[in-house]
Amino acid sequence: MFNDYVAVLDVGSNKITYSIGKNGVNGTFSFLARKTADYNAFYSKEFSDIHELEKVVAGLNNDIIAENGLSGINKIYVGVPNEFVKIQSKNYRISFTREKRITAGDVITLFDLGYERADSEHTLINRAAVYYAVDGNKTHDPIGLKGQSLAGRLCYISISDYYKDVFDRILKKAGIGDVNYISSSYAESVYLFDGALKEECRILVDVGYTTTDVTVSAGDGVLFGGSIPLGGGIITAYLSDKLECDFFVAEDLKRKLNLGIINGAGRTYSVFMDGGDKQFFDVDVANDTAKTVLDEIADKIEKVISLCTLKIPSDVDVYFTGGGINLIRGAVEYTAGRLGVFPKTVAPELPHLKSGVYTSEISLLSLALRLKKDKVFFTE
């Protein structure tokens, strides 16, 4: 009954989502279970409180097992934020003594021979190709084609051993022995872009609560990735400090902002307090405070992109996703303007899940299901 399902753990910058799902009809998914819990996040490549993280993961796992009458879960796919991954990209080519039909084994050999370990502190988890080429002719699927050579723009994604050790231990303690890892940005790049969008080089900016992941990708591969220690939660913190209000009031205020208001003189935002009273905040002050954070995010996005040694087209499209700023009216437009690009957003197009908030979770589920089915092109 459960053979078609996969279990996925989406590790966000302030929330963890545990879901069990399978493929549905017309590109949708059917969920057996979905549960989310807050936790203390990570900073500078380390978790703030590993003991709390263990309690949160164990609690989600136990609840899902109990609520769905399961005997246990023995395999899971864990998402890995950019903070904990290293991406390598290279061109590689193998030749054959005579013309032959390319097999799945040849594709695996190409990846095996092209791999060089990133360093002693990272372990390979995913590998993919921007494209393949058979006798110099580009293709996304070389299997069955005839040729004397097979080449590809290959991408290797490695996880920090620290992150892997943390979750291996936590999940083993929870009774899950088969733990697999997927780069969240890799999953998003594969899931969100298809058709003509898939062919072009693009930049994906996933703004979370305390971090922002920046990924350069093309085809089914990721070419470069970086992370910024800023997100939507920092806007809340700035609002709370500047306007001298409770953090939870600032969180509600953030969701009411409209950064498209050019001149808010004399206008206010209102937020209900405990007890039913309202608190009022000057529109210009609140908007300017949020824009201060967005200016920082835009500056750091540019710095991350500048670290990419690959040639990125000057007219590359930049896409925004995630729940950090997409729910603030005008925030994406403002940030895109600071970057000098046209504002574009991407998110799952699913009933009840049409938001960038769900991008990472749905992308991980989609790729986990493909990994389960096809281990040639989507390699664990």
**Which of 66-70, 132-136, 232-236 bottoms out in mean pLDDT, i.e. has the lowest?**
66-70
Q: What would the pLDDT profile of 32-69 be if each residue is shown by its tens digit?
A: 999 999 998 888 888 989 999 999 999 999 999 999 88
Q: What would the pLDDT profile of 25-36 be if each residue is shown by its tens digit?
A: 888 899 999 999
Q: Tell me what pLDDT residue 378 has.
A: 47
Does position 137 have pLDDT exceeding 80, yes or no? Answer: yes
In which band, very low, low, confident or very high, does the pLDDT at 2 lie, cut at 50, 70 and 90? low
| H-type alpha helices, 179-231 | 184-192, 195-199
Query: Judging by DSSP bridges, how do beta strands 202-207 and 317-321 pair with one another?
Result: parallel
C-alpha separations of 190 from 182, 251, 348 in Å: 12, 32, 12
If one compares 183 and 374, the residue with the highest pLDDT of the two is 183
Tokens of 11: 């590790």
Question: Which residues lie below 8 Å from residue 340, measured CB to CB, with a gap of 6+?
Answer: none
Q: Tell me what pLDDT residue 152 has.
A: 95
- DSSP letter at 208? -
Contacts 24+ apart (CB under 8 A), 172-177: 173/54, 173/58, 174/57, 174/58, 174/61, 174/62, 175/61, 175/72, 175/73, 175/74, 176/61, 176/73, 176/74, 176/75, 176/76, 177/74, 177/75
Distance CA 248, CA 273 (A): 10
**Structure pTM?**
0.92
Query: Judging by DSSP bridges, how do beta strands 178-183 and 75-80 pair with one another?
Result: parallel
Q: Where in the chain is the domain with CATH 3.30.1490.110?
A: 87-159
- Of 163, 2, 161, nearest to 79 (Cα)? 163
In which band, very low, low, confident or very high, does the pLDDT at 353 lie, cut at 50, 70 and 90? confident
Q: What would the pLDDT profile of 106-127 be if each residue is shown by its tens digit?
A: 999 999 999 998 889 999 999 9
**Which amino acid is located at 313 in the chain?**
P
Q: What would the pLDDT profile of 263-311 be if each residue is shown by its tens digit?
A: 878 899 999 887 778 889 999 999 999 999 999 999 999 999 999 888 8
- DSSP letter at 331? H
In which band, very low, low, confident or very high, does the pLDDT at 345 lie, cut at 50, 70 and 90? very high
**Which amino acid is located at 100 in the chain?**
K
Q: How many CB atoms lie within 10 A of CB 140?
A: 13
For domain 196-345, which CATH number applies: 3.30.300.30, 3.30.420.40, 2.60.120.40, 3.30.70.3450? 3.30.420.40
Does position 377 have pLDDT exceeding 70, yes or no? Answer: no
Distance CA 173, CA 162 (A): 17
The answer to whether the Cα torsion of 313, 317, 323, 326 is positive or negative is positive
Measured N-to-C along each axis, helices 232-243 and 283-306 cross at an angle, to the nearest 10 degrees, of: 140
Fold classification of 6-83+161-195+349-373 is Nucleotidyltransferase; domain 5 (3.30.420)
- DSSP letter at 148? E
Does position 1 have pLDDT exceeding 70, yes or no? Answer: no
Q: Where in the chain is the domain with CATH 3.30.420.40?
A: 6-83+161-195+349-373, 196-345
Q: Tell me what pLDDT residue 164 has.
A: 97
- 264: part of which helix (H) or strand (E)? none
CATH of domain 87-159: 3.30.1490.110
For residues 150, 183, 344, 41, the Cα torsion angle rounded to the nearest 10 degrees is -170
- Of 246, 243, 261, 248, nearest to 328 (Cα)? 261
Average pLDDT, the chain: 92
Could you tell me if 330 and 297 are in contact, meaning their C-beta atoms sit under 8 angstroms apart?
Answer: no
Q: Tell me what pLDDT residue 327 has.
A: 86
